[in-house]
Amino acid sequence: MAFFPHLLLATLEGLVTSAVLALTALGLSLVFGVMRIVNVAHGEFFMLGAVLAWAITITLTGHPALGFAVALVLSPLIVGGIAWIAERLVLRRLEYNPEATIVATIGLLYIIQQLALTFYGPEARPVAPPFSYRIQLPWFGYSGYKLSIIAASALLLLATWFVLTRTRIGLVMRATQYDRETALAFGIPVGRVYGAVFALGAMLAAVAAVLIVPIQQAHYLMGLDPLLLSFIVVIIGGLGSLRGTVVAALLIGVSDGIISVFFSPTLAKIIATLVVALVLVFRPQGLFGTATK
Amino acid sequence: MNWEGPTAKVYALHVAVVALLVGLNFALPEYHHGVLARVLVLAVFAMGYNVLFGYAGLLSLGHAMFFAAGLYGAGLPLYHLGWGVPAAFGAGIAAGFVASLIIGLLALRTSGVAFMIVTMMFAQVFYLTTLYFGEWTRGDEGLVLQQQARQVTLGAQTLDLTSPATRYLLAVALFAIVLLASVALVRSRHGRVLVAIRENEERTRMLGYDTFANKLAAVVTSGVICAAAGAAYALLFGYVGSTFASVQYSILPLLWVLLGGAATTLGPLIGTLFMYYVIDIASGYTSAYMLVVGAVLILLVLFFRKGVLGTVRERWVGWLP
Amino acid sequence: MTEDNRFFDLGKTGLTRRTALKGLAAGAGLMAAPGFVRYSQAQSSAPIKIGFQAHRTGIGAAYGRWYEKTTNAAVKLINDAGGINGRPIEIIVEDDGTDPKRGAEVVGKFASQHKTDIVFGTLFSHVVVGSAPTAGELKIPYYVVSEGYHVASGKLNRWVFQPGITDVRAQVTSVAPWIAANIGKKVTMIYPDYAFGYDHRDYFAPAIKAQGGDVIAQIPIPPTESSFTKYLPQIPADTEVLYHVMVGPGVLTFVKELGEFYGSNKPQLFGFIDSLEAVDINSPGLEFLDGSHFWEGSPRYAQANDSEAQKAYRAAVGIDDNGASVGDAKDVSTAAHMFGCWETLYVIKKAMEDSGYKGPEDRAKLVEATEALTEFKEGPEHPQGDKIFNGKIHQVFGHQNISKVEGGKLKVVHRTSIEDGMYEPEADYTTQPL
């Protein structure tokens, strides 16, 4: 294939990756930013979202779009509920001690993975896309659904941005993130805010997974890669910065796509990872953050 | 922390632990004897991790890289160049030294969570590199180091690393050396500076300490210990593969250390041992054993927030190092 | 006791479970199996214990489940027919988590804790290679069902055998002539960038060259990748055959993305069914595969000319004509590989009978007896077909199937001869001391 079509394709692919990554990472960023904890189970919430999407679409008959629409609403709600329970039962009792939380969320990761394996099984299972339209470009074909993911993700990101900056809920969250003690003194129920933030973070991961599952598949071990990538995005973007998270997701997704044009696949992955690592080495506070702590 | 604590008691405890381990060589049933040899090597990995995480307070998610540097550093020359065991072990440690020095110089420009992510990404690069050079490493499948290559001739004596007793005693020896070295380290001036950095880096710097140099020394010490564990693993158990460079093997030492108690000298051993037997025993009862393991981790951390020994020290035995 | 884990059913039937919980009579678990004759305490009639190293968790779990089903079916049949040397087989399962470190630990556990006679059943090649040193040191025969070239390469040791499934080198060597003669000579290979892929890379290229063909591009994909479209432009435009072999959960994505990329204007496709084991060929997005070809060890779909042995085997394992579980049409098996467990167990039986195997003290004799085997005839014990065994490299050779996707089924269009896959042995394990 000629160079420019190849580059175009790689960029499109990068954008799709970025779109999903931005949503997943935003969830992690909220939890990280507001609660100051490392949630190792974040990827498992992603996986759970995909697995539930499969279960929901398989239960509902009729046009695939119907099942998909229901999954898009129901799956994040269930995942959010599970996260909320985990937060109330375990993390709250640990008083958000950072180290204890790591162990607890690793425990949670094992539990969720095992439950998925037991009740869902070890197979990779596909979910039918709500619509399948193949766009034929002069050089190659491309999935219309993939392009719609970019749009859907952008809408969801805008909605999240609106909630965080224009509503009372968002104000309370930001206040808690800014200064927990003062927020408490002003009568903000910090405990309940934490529960809500943890649930919301998980829901964002689940929604990203529902979007991606028609082009990938649900599998009980699918959570690891989104977890690692989300961590990278959150730190590169700067803690608690929505804009930074989106830019970092774009940086990582698109550079991964473009670098793949020039090198053999494994070497491309090595270089892309190294580039991002070096960005952080020479800009330790992230792209938009003030000094991280 | 009680630094002026009873030195005699501390050393007596550690010598007793080592003596107990040597004694177990003659007492343990065959299966548990083999298990303990493996666990001791992995505990050395955890102890290396503990130097950086427990004492210096730097959370790395890239230590699989150092373990694997030792693993490959020892395994590849032995496999491809026919090096002897001592030279291969030395090469493994050297590989760990170089890797940790480079990573330290780069990653220490960052701190906190950024340090965690940078080390994780470098480790991922290392993992992919072991795949990229599959012609020499055989990638994920890895290499078998043959039995006859894993023998040391000392004069008229031949030390067979594949015989269970020799392997066990060598594992204990490595463990003992690293254990006593880490006791000495944490009681040394350098060790105290590390703890001071963990507690308040700014203030330590203002007191006139070169925090960067101390942290770099901690990264290298930690990396070399982990590489020694990796090299020992390759030579004692005869397998080298890229699985050991994957991110799971970066998370495991963190988990072992947190379970046993960060910043305790014996915690890494307890955490590693505990994790091994939780999986081993739970999988005997149900095929859904990860559920049990997950629940045990959560319960443990609910009641022993600072890990087993960390909590014991806090509540009952204040002089534990 | 472990009876209740039916709730957590990962695909096992009533027979297999760990029986070594302290204080439990070794035979207790066996009594649960229907139609099982209880044998008395005498050593001569105590069960032969086979340690089954299973992928119950980890990336290999989809395969592991079916390996367990096949194993249980074969064991039941062998036991109903009087066992081995008059002794029943007892399977003891340990999960290796599809991890080479745990794999080695599990082999140690079999040898020194469960005191099994042999270890059996591993699939993923990194677990095989990781476990082999422990098996060699503990001198316990280790029968794998993995299809890697690792055993035949001579890089493992005298205690490791692969007598029930052919290796990748033989597979790719024997399909190359058919590919060159029927679908095209200019081949682009896409394969995972790890050892399983290397076997394909290293042995397919020379094999196709020998037929006057050529590999014009090789695209190794790192295992951390979950999306493939961006690599597809690296496929040269003059490619006649796209040779694809992927494993892991990303394979469906791979096929779908190929479909979106090419549309109807595609090169010929030749794949290894490893990509789609345990996956319904009629899944959404796989329409693209219609008309393409696959290698299969044993055919997934029942064929018109199936032997009685093949029919009996499928019934015993519990798969229907579509290769799915009899009870659940959505539960697709790993038919192309799992027959290897069945055949390996019968090879073990034969070798144990030949050597008059009595207990662990006879393990060396068992190794020699296995090495002395030369051929296996098609029949109830070897439903996939005739096999030739090479005792020097511990590897079996057999027929391969090439199937075409037609009307949502895989139809065998060519069956290679055993000789098509033979190559010059590179090793001789029999020279190693026991």
The chain-wide mean pLDDT, for chain C, equals 88
Determine whether the interchain pair A228/B247 forms a contact, defined as Cβ–Cβ distance below 8 Å. yes
Best of A15, A264, A273, A276 to disrupt the C interface (most C CBs within 10 Å) is A264
Q: How far is B92 from chain C (nearest CA, A)?
A: 19
| pLDDT the model gives residue A133 | 86
Q: How far is C89 from chain A (nearest CA, A)?
A: 28
Provide the 10 A C-beta neighbour count for residue A21: 27
Determine whether the interchain pair B31/C95 forms a contact, defined as Cβ–Cβ distance below 8 Å. no
Does residue C39 sit in the same domain as residue C140?
yes
> Could you give the 3-state DSSP secondary structure of residue C185?
coil
pLDDT in tens, C107-147: 999 999 999 999 999 999 999 999 999 999 999 999 999 99
Nearest to A202 by CA among A7, A44, A74, A6: A44
Mean pLDDT on B130-149: 93
Q: How far is B298 from chain A (nearest CA, A)?
A: 5
Q: How far is B99 from chain A (nearest CA, A)?
A: 15
What's phi and psi for C150, nearest 5 deg? -55, -40
Mean pLDDT on A166-176: 88
Chains touching C by CB (3 or more pairs below 8 Å):
A, B
Residues 80 through 119 of chain B touching chain C, CB cutoff 8 Å: none
Does residue C69 sit in the same domain as residue C34?
yes
Does residue C136 sit in the same domain as residue C51?
yes
**Cβ–Cβ contact B15 with A under 8 A:** no
| pLDDT the model gives residue A283 | 85
| Residues A91, B195: Cα–Cα separation, whole Å | 27
Query: Out of B2-11, C122-131, C397-406, which region has the weakest mean confidence (pLDDT)?
Result: B2-11
Residues 6+ apart with CB under 8 A from C117: C48, C49, C50, C141, C357, C359, C360, C363
- Domains in chain A and their CATH numbers? 3-127+139-282 (1.10.3470)
Q: Judge whether C319 lies within some domain.
A: no
Q: Is the pLDDT of residue C56 over 60?
A: yes
| CA–CA distances in Å: residue B157 to residues B26, B89, B160, C93, C161 | 21, 19, 10, 40, 34
Residues 79 through 108 of chain A touching chain B, CB cutoff 8 Å: 90, 93-94, 97, 99-100, 102-104, 106-108
pLDDT band of C250, cuts 50, 70, 90: confident
Q: CB-CB: which of B35, B139, B290 is closest to C195?
A: B139
| Residue ranges making up the domain that contains C220 | 168-296+400-421
Q: CB-CB: which of C18, C108, C133 is closest to B31?
A: C108
| pLDDT the model gives residue B318 | 86
| pLDDT the model gives residue C27 | 38
Q: How far is C8 from chain B (nearest CA, A)?
A: 6
Q: How far is C200 from chain A (nearest CA, A)?
A: 17
**Cβ–Cβ contact A265 with B under 8 A:** no
Rg (CA), chain B: 19
C193 contacts on B by Cβ (under 8 Å):
131-132, 134, 139
pLDDT in tens, B48-57: 999 999 999 9
**B119/C255: higher pLDDT:** B119
Half-sphere exposure of C89 (CA within 13 A, CB side): 29
Does residue C106 sit in the same domain as residue C93?
yes
* Overall size of chain B counted in residues: 321
Residues 6+ apart with CB under 8 A from B32: none
Does residue C289 sit in the same domain as residue C356?
no
| pLDDT the model gives residue A289 | 63
How many domains would you assign to chain C? Answer: 2
| Buried b or exposed e, range B166-179, using 16+ CB within 10 angstroms | bbbbbbbebbbebb
Q: Judge whether C387 lies within some domain.
A: yes
What tokens does C248 get?
A: 């892991």
Q: CB-CB: which of A97, A231, A278 is closest to B117?
A: A231
Half-sphere exposure of B261 (CA within 13 A, CB side): 19
Q: Is the pLDDT of residue C353 over 50?
A: yes
Chains touching B by CB (3 or more pairs below 8 Å):
A, C
Query: Out of B80-84, C189-193, C221-225, C324-328, which region has the weakest mean confidence (pLDDT)?
Result: C221-225
pLDDT in tens, A62-80: 888 999 999 999 999 999 9
Does residue C154 sit in the same domain as residue C53?
yes
Residues 18 through 47 of chain A touching chain B, CB cutoff 8 Å: 32, 38, 40
Q: How far is A135 from chain B (nearest CA, A)?
A: 34
Determine whether the interchain pair C57/B290 forms a contact, defined as Cβ–Cβ distance below 8 Å. yes
Does residue C172 sit in the same domain as residue C53?
no
Q: CB-CB: which of C231, C278, C284 is closest to A123?
A: C278
Does residue C187 sit in the same domain as residue C241?
yes
Determine whether the interchain pair B247/A224 forms a contact, defined as Cβ–Cβ distance below 8 Å. yes
pLDDT in tens, A199-220: 999 999 999 999 999 988 899 9
**Cβ–Cβ contact B245 with A under 8 A:** no
Q: Judge whether C76 lies within some domain.
A: yes
A231 contacts on B by Cβ (under 8 Å):
116-117, 120
| Residues B14, A291: Cα–Cα separation, whole Å | 41
Determine whether the interchain pair C231/A260 forms a contact, defined as Cβ–Cβ distance below 8 Å. yes
Q: Is the pLDDT of residue A184 over 90?
A: no
| pLDDT the model gives residue C33 | 39
Nearest to C3 by CA among B287, B84, A225: B287
Q: CB-CB: which of C64, C230, C250 is closest to A9?
A: C230
Residue in chain C lying closest to B34 (CA): C108
Does residue C88 sit in the same domain as residue C207?
no
Does residue C225 sit in the same domain as residue C159?
no
**Cβ–Cβ contact A10 with C under 8 A:** yes
Q: Judge whether C327 lies within some domain.
A: no
Determine whether the interchain pair C137/B134 forms a contact, defined as Cβ–Cβ distance below 8 Å. no
Rg (CA), chain C: 21
Q: Judge whether C93 lies within some domain.
A: yes
Give A132: exposed, middle or buried? Use CB within 10 Å, 0-12, 13-18, 19+: middle
Q: Is the pLDDT of residue B29 over 90?
A: yes
B106 contacts on A by Cβ (under 8 Å):
278, 281
| pLDDT the model gives residue A179 | 85
Does residue C26 sit in the same domain as residue C103?
yes
Q: Judge whether C306 lies within some domain.
A: no
Q: How far is C237 from chain A (nearest CA, A)?
A: 7
Query: Out of A15-29, B3-17, B77-91, C80-94, which region has the weakest mean confidence (pLDDT)?
Result: B3-17
**Cβ–Cβ contact A239 with B under 8 A:** yes
Q: Judge whether C366 lies within some domain.
A: yes
| CA–CA distances in Å: residue B251 to residues B59, B62, C38 | 11, 8, 47
Mean pLDDT on C149-170: 96
pTM: 0.91
**Cβ–Cβ contact B188 with C under 8 A:** no
Best of A32, A225, A235, A264 to disrupt the B interface (most B CBs within 10 Å) is A235
Q: How far is B139 from chain A (nearest CA, A)?
A: 12
Q: Is the pLDDT of residue A231 over 80?
A: yes
A217 contacts on C by Cβ (under 8 Å):
249, 252-253
Torsion over CA of C189, C194, C198 and C204, rounded to 10 degrees?
-30
Determine whether the interchain pair A121/C62 forms a contact, defined as Cβ–Cβ distance below 8 Å. yes
Nearest to A48 by CA among A84, A87, A79: A79
What tokens does C388 get?
A: 């030739």
Q: Judge whether C301 lies within some domain.
A: no
Does residue C270 sit in the same domain as residue C343?
no
| pLDDT the model gives residue A187 | 86
Residues 76 through 135 of chain B touching chain A, CB cutoff 8 Å: 106-107, 109-114, 116-118, 120-122, 124-125, 128-129, 131-132
Nearest to A289 by CA among A29, A27, A21: A29
CATH number at residue C114: 3.40.50.2300
